[in-house]
């Protein structure tokens, strides 16, 4: 039963991402955290996000803006080791509570239409990179902070789409390197990776026939429910 639920979560995440443009982790992280626990759920999300980002880089290689990628990724070299130490040291209940709060923060970033001034200007990459790396290593959701940075910098289009996956590769690889590989049965990992591929292919077919614009609020509501559930789970386990 667990394998079926994991596969369903990942397929749904991959399809909805293709329809709405929001990050895979924002969809899958709360579900995987509730299913596998806060530490292993985020680890699996890091792994799947890494695979997704590698595929994106392979197909958008020529449009990557390497200077921006470096500026946004450098903070992760400091933030991720500290965040991994925190994640390993916290009790599961406290970690679940923290992840739920961070998921709510990620939702607020997605909803915000006027980015804070701190993300604008030449130094904006530093706070954006710190926030993205923090959310990534602790909750598996680094994308919203980078999207807000892109909005503040008026940096959109092919360059942004191609560059953000490079940052995701760095952050997720560091997260896995410092926290370890998911300690799950190999069958769970195979099902999750297979579901990611199936969801990606299915999303390509669905997007041609149906716009995902109307799913945005449903997706945000789903993430919010997952975040609140993680908080309640953490509070009840204390």
Residue-wise pLDDT for 86-142, tens only, equals 999 999 899 999 999 999 988 888 787 677 888 888 789 999 999 999 999 999 988
- ∠ CA(190), CA(195), CA(197), 5° rounding? 100
Mean pLDDT of the chain: 85
Q: Where are the domains of the chain?
A: 2-237
The pLDDT of residue 35 is above 70? yes
15 contacts 202 by C-beta, under 8 angstroms: yes
48 contacts 197 by C-beta, under 8 angstroms: no
User: CB burial class (10 A; 0-12, 13-18, 19+) of residue 138?
Assistant: buried
Query: pTM of this prediction?
Result: 0.88
- Write phi, then psi, for 118 (nearest 5 degrees): -60, -20
pLDDT digits (tens, 9 = 90+) for 137-160: 999 988 889 988 988 898 878 888
């Amino acid at each position: 039963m667990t394998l079926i639920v994991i596969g369903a979560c990942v397929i749904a995440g991959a399809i909805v991402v293709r329809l709405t443009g929001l990050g895979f982790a924002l969809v899958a992280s709360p579900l995987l955290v509730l299913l596998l626990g806060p530490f292993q759920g985020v680890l699996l999300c890091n792994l799947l996000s890494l695979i997704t980002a590698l595929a994106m880089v392979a197909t958008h290689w020529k449009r990557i803006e390497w200077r921006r990628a470096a500026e946004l990724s450098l903070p992760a070299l400091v933030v991720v080791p500290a965040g991994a130490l925190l994640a390993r040291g916290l009790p599961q209940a406290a970690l679940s509570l923290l992840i739920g709060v961070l998921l709510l923060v990620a939702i607020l970033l997605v909803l915000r239409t006027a980015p804070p001034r701190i993300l604008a200007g030449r130094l904006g990459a530093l706070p954006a990179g710190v926030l993205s790396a923090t959310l990534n290593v602790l909750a598996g959701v680094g994308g919203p902070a980078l999207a807000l940075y892109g909005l503040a910098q008026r940096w959109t289009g092919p360059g942004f789409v191609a560059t953000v996956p490079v940052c995701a590769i760095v952050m997720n690889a560091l997260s896995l390197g410092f926290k370890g590989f998911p300690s799950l049965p190999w069958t769970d990992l195979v099902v999750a990776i297979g579901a990611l591929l199936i969801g990606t292919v299915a999303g390509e077919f669905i997007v041609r026939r149906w716009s995902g614009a109307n799913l945005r609020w449903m997706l945000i509501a789903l993430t919010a429910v997952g975040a609140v559930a993680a908080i309640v789970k953490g509070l009840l386990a204390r």
